[in-house]
Structure formats: structure tokens, C-alpha cells
Structure 1
Amino acid sequence: MRGNLPVCSQLHTPDKMVKLLVFMMMLASCCAEIKDLSGKAFVFPRETATDHVKLMTPKTSFNALTVCLRFVTDLTRNYGLFSLATPAISNDFVLFKINTNDVIRMHARDGGTDFLALSFPPNTWHTMCSTWNSDDGIAQLWVDGKPTIKRFIRSGQPISGKPSTILGQEQDSYGGGFDASQSFIGMISRLHVWDHVISSNEIQRYEADLNFTPGNVFNWRALDFEIVGNILVEDEVLIE
């Protein structure tokens, strides 16, 4: 008698299976909803070769980039903050902290340069903006509101291809190749990415969190992301 079938048997009838699949698809779409993370931070609590945040964008071509974010950590070893890879180049745009307190390595189109004499006291929130323009190959950092010198990386080669964009790890291959000894432990917040070099005034407004234009590639107030592994979304707590 159909009405007395166990629940598991009912689910295996064709109409029940179709309804279950539709429900699962709706649930997946809900989980992928773009979210406003104002006042929130991603918390990376452990050293791992798996945990990361994947960012999604429909954009596939970048003549220039500006990446701004805030972070806090107590690490003194190497760690990856931001990693954008394409199928052709794993280091298409990367921000990587070298294992001293004063060096950030920036990659663009598989080229790279080191920004020296910086200061990142541990257990303190820092803001960092990075810019690179493929027209002239010039890159620059702004750390806690202060600009570095400008350095050449690579020119004449815009970033092209579907990006795999990762927070908290550095990609040695498209979408993977993570190394636990280079994983980020700490908190990241207020990420914004633009497909052009924003002005110094706009960077200062971002630093002050006051009336700046949100990123048109990634916008912290409307972020499309996927968490892989043990990463939390919590209030952005000030650390004194």
C-alpha cells in the first residue's frame, strides 16, 4: 500500500526524487547568495592546505587592478593574503607576505617585486591597498594610509581568462596547489577590488572607511563568495 511505504521508499519514487533535486538546487542557490559583509570579517583559525575563501566575479579581463583589504595576524612566517590565478598563469596577481615584518611581494602576470621597509606589528589591524597598471607596468602599495615608492613589475599584458580568486592561500596551480606553511591565520575584512587604479584620494577615503566608491570587481558590501573548510564569518572585532 503506497500510503504505508517507509519514507526512504517514498523518496525513491520518480516524483519524490524530482522534488528532492529541485529542493537541493534551491538550497544551493540560497547558499550562494551575494552577501553584505559590512561589520564582518573572515576568520582563518588554523594552518591548513585546504581552507580558503573563493571569490566569484563575471569579469574575465583586467587592464589594471586595485586591491584593498584589512587584516590582522600574529604570524611571522610567510603567508598568502590574496591570490588571483587564470588557467594560463597561477601568479596573475598575488599579495604575499615574506617571513620578515617588513616585506610584501606583489606578483602581476607572473612577474614580481618586493616592497621593503614596511611595518606590520602583530595583533594589530592593518589596511593595505595595492595597485598595478598593465599599460606601464607600475605597481604601488599603500600600508595603513602611507604610500610606498612605485616599482615596475610587467607591462603590456592585461590579465585575461576566467579568474580563480582566493583569500588566505597562495595558488601554485589554478584553483589549488596550496601549501599549509604559507596559509594565512588571522582575520581579513573590508575587501574591495577595482579593475582600474583608483586615485590616492579614493585610497585615503577607503582607509578612513568614509564615502569611497566600492570595488566593481569585488565589493565587501555585496560579496559573492564560497567558504571551503573551517573559516568563520564573525563581527570585525577591534584588537588593541
Structure 2
Amino acid sequence: MCAALGMLGTRKMLSVFMILAAVCLQGTLVQQPGTAERRKLFFERFRRLEEQFRRFQEVTLMRLQEIAGNYNVSYNIDAKFEQLLSKHQGLESAANESHAATQEELSHLKALVKKLQNKGKKQDSKLEALEEALRERDREKAAERQQERALLANLTQEVESHREDTQAVHAGQQILQKALESLQDALKSQGSKLDELEQQLKNPVHNEVLLPNPLTAAQLLNRVPQEQEPEAAGGQNPTVKKLHGKHRQRKKLLQASTRLAAQSQGRGLQSGSPPGQEAPQQQEAEAEQPHLQEPQGLRQQQAVVDKAPEEQSQSEAPQKPGTICNVDSMLFFPNASTENFATFAPGFQAGLLELSLCSWVSTSANYLGTILSYATEDNDNKLVLHGRDAAPRNSIHFVIGDPAFRELPVGRILDGKWHHICVIWSSIQGRYWFYVDRRLASMGSKFQKGYEIPPKGSLVLGQEQDTMGGGFEPSESFVGYLAGLAIWDRALSPGEVSGIAIGRGLPRGTIFTLANISALHGALQKVNCTCLEHCL
């Protein structure tokens, strides 16, 4: 715009200059009327000057047009620059918005990736747990198969032993049958003799005729003790009443013998009884033997005529052989006193990664007290079979490394009878087993896995230690009998547990038995007995 104004001013100045020049020339010509030649020269010069001026004007106009064109170009450039700047700003804002959106999406993607990673870790942990569970299940199945094989082997052995017992019972039945047949023959002959004697006694008038000599021997043979003779009454001959009483006794004896034979045959046909009932059956059979031998003694009385009835008492039966003869000795805890306990010195000589404890237990109390406790200076509950006179009384605590423990069911032990228990623990998988009378009563895993029971502690039977070697409480004392207690530094197999319970020898590797007790305290008593049946 300024350049256009400058061009207009320049044009006005040139016009004014040309007018002034023409006026001056005209005045000069008027003042000096010269010759025609001067005029021609002047006009010639003037035309040249005018032509130059016109050319200059054209050139100036061209220059001005160029300047105006350049100005328009620069103005357009500024407008375009402003447009470009606004577009740049728009693009920049769009880029910023896109960057912000991208950052937000990236953060969202990062969160999703973290969630996926966490889910992946959880899935991996679940897969590992499932794999471990599968491996554990496979191991349990293998252990169950092994246990079933052991039980099958034990069952086979029991069946063989039952077969042998059945054969022995059949042989005894045959002998008894022969004895009964001979007894029946003897009773028949005695009955016929009695009938003849009664007939002969009825023939005399007053029933007072003396018997001939052959019948006197028969009368002496059938004589009964004086305290069993009936008194004469109603005018009847005492000899006749005596004979009638003897005849009734013979009939009762025959009926009792037949009934006993039938009962013995019924017991001989039974098989597959539980192992814990084998000893009672043998005791019943042995208790019945004197009654079954009574007819044979009677037959011997008939052979010897002059033998008095008072001299026919049978001798007492000898001590019966035991079936469980691996206990060696027994401890008797008479009452719930804190002074009754046994100690082992020293305790465990090395750390234990596995442990097995088996014992025969009998208690008449309504709870099972503390059987064993092992304490060290830094912990009073390194190993405890802890029971107390408090609810619940049908279970005890199996403690390894306080405060970790498991509850073991002992309700069926509290009946005053002998029961065999075994507690087994292994730190390899933290597994434990609890057997009662050869049956698995409880089991579990992840119990103090990798733990080691430390050595050089205090091992006590019958009391729970609150301090090392002391701190006993009466409510935690054991009351009853412990027989054949033994401890191993390894985990026993089900077959070994079953073998101990049926009276086989103790498995190898015992580290403590009742023979290793160093001291007995209080009223505690120790009884040496090889067989469990002879301990009480």
C-alpha cells in the first residue's frame, strides 16, 4: 500500500516538473525570439526529453507494477503462512490428543498385560498344585496298593492259620466223638444193669433182701458222694432211691456232653474271625476241655471200683501259651500322680527326620493321658503324644515342634482292653499315619514337612513336660498299662505294623524299648512278661 502511494506522488511531481519546464521554455522563447534553428533544436530536445520521460514513466510504471505484484505476493505469503501456522497448531493439538489417547491406551494395555501375567502366574501355580496333587495321589495309590498287598498277605497267612486251627478242631471233634460213643455205650450198659438191679429189688416182699456179690460190685461202682445221697423218706429203701438218683445223673451227663459237642462243632466251622478274637476263642476252647474230659474220667471211675468220689477231682490246667510274645515287659501307672513316670537317659542321640512309635495300651480311665513327651531347652514340645482329662476326651494331640499338631482319634481305646497303637511320621512329605489294632485310623500330609526333631533332649513316659524334665500336671498324666513300647528312627510299613500287632518279632532298627528305661519314679511298676497274655 505504501509503495502505491509513493508511485502516485512521483507521477504528480513529474507532471509539475514538465509543466514548469514548458513555461520556462515558453518565457525564454518569448523574451528571446531567436532564430528558427534554436526553436527547432529546443523542440527537438524537448521531444527527446519528453520521449525519455515517457520511457522513464513506462519503466517506472513497470517497476511500480512489479513492486505491487511483489507486495501482493508477500501479502499472499503471509496469509498462507498464517493458514499454515493455524493448520500446524491444529495438527499439533490433534497430535497431542492422539498422543494422550495413545498413552491412555498404552497404560490400559499395560494394566491388561499385568493382569494377564498375574492370571498366568495363578494358572501356573494351580497347574503346579494340580501336578503335585496328582503326584501325591499316585504316591497314595502306590502306598494303598502296597498296603493292600500287605493286608492280602496277612489275610492269606491268617486263612492258613485258621485252616490249621479248623483241622485241629476237626481232629479234636473226632476224638471227642469217639469218647462220646464209648461213653454212650458205657451208659447203656449201666442203664441195663440198673434196670436189672431195680427188677431184682422189686421181687422181695419188703425190699430188704441183700444183694448178691456180683451186684455189690456194681453198687460200689455207681456210688456217689454222701452229700449228694438223698435222704430216705416215705418208707422207700434208700438203696433204691440212690440208684434212681444215679440214673438221673447219668442222663444229665449224657445230655450235657452232647450239647457241648454240638457247640464245639459250631465253633470249629466258623472262620475269618477278627485277629483280636483269636485269643478269646482259644481260651474258651481250653476252658471247655476239662468239661469235655469229664466223661473220660467217669469211664476211668467205672474201671476202678474201690476209688472214692472225693479223690476224683481234676488237677488245675497249666498256664496257657501266649499268642503275642514280643512285648518283653509292661509298665503299670496306678493313678494320675505327677510322680509316676519313666525316663530314658540320654534322649535321641541324633536328629530324626522320620519316627515310628508302637505300643500296647490299656486304660480304664475315660481319657487317654500323655503317653510320651520329648523336650529340649529351647522348646518343651518337640515331640508329644498329649492327652488330658478335658474335653474332647476321645482324641489326643500328636505334637511335633510346637505349635504344630494333629488330632488323633482314640475313642475306641477307652474300654479297659488291650489295644495296639502305632504313630508314624515322615518329614519328607510331612505325612503321618495312626494305626489302632492294625487298622488305619487317621492319616494326613503337610505336617512339619522338612522338620528335624533335634537330639539331646529329655524323653519321658507318662507325663507332659512344661519344662525340660518337669512341669507335670495331674490332668495330663497317663493311667493304665503300656506294654511292648518301641521307637524307630524310620517309617514302618503297613505290613510291619500288622506283624507287630499279631505277635511277630519287632522290625529292625529300634532305638528305644522299655528295656532302655533308665529310671522309674513314684508308684510306677515294671513287669517282665514275654507274652501279652501273661502280663496281667
- Shorter-chain TM-score range: 0.7 to 0.9
Partner of 1:52: 341
Structure 2 length normalisation: TM-score?
0.36
| Contact 2:340-2:522 at 8 Å conserved across structures | yes
Call closer, same or farther: CA 1:173–1:191 in 2, change over 3 Å: same
| Contact 1:192-1:214 at 8 Å conserved across structures | no
Larger radius of gyration: 2
Call closer, same or farther: CA 1:51–1:214 in 2, change over 3 Å: farther
After superposition, give the CA deviation of every residue in 1:57-105 in whole Å (9 maximum; x if it has no partner). 4523111110111111111145101111222221111112355553132
SS of corresponding position for 1:62: coil
**Pairing of 1:218-233 with structure 2 (within 5 A):** 218-220=512-514, 222-233=515-526
Deviation at 1:189, TM superposition (A): 1.1
Supply the RMSD in Å over aligned alpha carbons.
Answer: 2.4
Deviation at 1:134, TM superposition (A): 1.7
Deviation at 1:169, TM superposition (A): 0.7
Q: Distance in 1 between matches of 2:352 and 2:500?
A: 21
After superposition, give the CA deviation of every residue in 1:97-136 in whole Å (9 maximum; x if it has no partner). 3555531320111110112375213211111100111222
Partner of 1:132: 425
Q: Structure 1: which amino acid aligns with 2:468?
A: Y
Unaligned 5+ segments in structure 1 are 1-36
Aligned length: 203
Of structures 1 and 2, the one with the larger relative CO (CA 8 A, separation 6+) is 1
1:178 aligns with 2:496: no
1:148 aligns with 2:441: yes
Q: Distance in 2 between matches of 1:117 and 1:224?
A: 26
Call closer, same or farther: CA 1:234–1:116 in 2, change over 3 Å: closer
Q: Structure 2: which amino acid aligns with 1:154?
A: Q
Q: Distance in 2 between matches of 1:102 and 1:47?
A: 18
2:399 to 96, 107, 113: 107
After superposing on structure 2, the runs of 4+ consecutive aligned residues of structure 1 that deviate more than 4 Å are 98-101, 235-240
Unaligned 5+ segments in structure 2 are 1-325
Call closer, same or farther: CA 1:216–1:166 in 2, change over 3 Å: same
Q: Structure 2: which amino acid aligns with 1:198?
A: L
Deviation at 1:204, TM superposition (A): 0.8
Greater strand content: 1
Q: Structure 1: which amino acid aligns with 2:355?
A: L
Q: Distance in 2 between matches of 1:187 and 1:215?
A: 24
SS of corresponding position for 2:422: strand
Partner of 1:18: none
Q: Distance in 2 between matches of 1:186 and 1:85?
A: 23
Q: Distance in 1 between matches of 2:350 and 2:415?
A: 35
After superposition, give the CA deviation of every residue in 1:176-231 in whole Å (9 maximum; x if it has no partner). 111011111111110110011111111111111203325521034x4242112111
Call closer, same or farther: CA 1:117–1:163 in 2, change over 3 Å: closer
Partner of 2:201: none
Greater helix content: 2
Q: Structure 1: which amino acid aligns with 2:416?
A: N
1:190 aligns with 2:484: yes
| Contact 2:340-2:524 at 8 Å conserved across structures | yes
**Pairing of 1:52-71 with structure 2 (within 5 A):** 52-56=341-345, 57=347, 59-71=349-361
1:40 aligns with 2:325: no
Partner of 1:32: none
Partner of 1:95: 385
| Contact 2:353-2:426 at 8 Å conserved across structures | yes
